[in-house]
Structure 1
Amino acid sequence: GKFDPGHSSADIVTVAVTDYYGVRTMDARGALFVLGSDVLGPMGHELVPLASRQEAEEFMTDHKGKRILTFDQVGAEVLKGLDKGSPQ
């Protein structure tokens, strides 16, 4: 592991997020994330997690989102864009 040599990504049991509309904790691997919306978090631009494709599309329309991503599509470049304030 990058941060703890005694662990690897295989040791991670759960990655949890809070569904934007349902305000329920869910497994991030099953969420869809809207990138580039007008909804900001405490640290600026965020990936907004949603429970379904329909909710993600509705959120994109309502909040000017740019893209819908799956968990596996959220990589280092996406996160760097958020840090720079220019989500793509």
Structure 2
Amino acid sequence: MISPESRSGRPEPAGERSRRAAAPLLVIVGGRDALLDSQETRRRLERTVPHATVRFLPETGHLLREQSLPILGFLRVSEEGGHHA
């Protein structure tokens, strides 16, 4: 997965920017995503971005429906300065 151009003007792996992010990070990945290798994405994020919370939905594709409550809960904990599981 490649992020938009980095400051250098060259594409950079999306994990590189995520790793440097200081803010809590929530990533929701659909296990049946036809656009990316969701298992590899999950493994890479868990390995390289320790402050990321990865929510893996094994029966979901690329379109992630009904995720408002998990997102709001994540934001609420972040706003309160709590830790994510």
TM-score > 0.5 by shorter chain: no
If the length of structure 2 is used for normalisation, what is the TM-score? 0.39
What is the TM-score normalised by the length of structure 1? 0.38
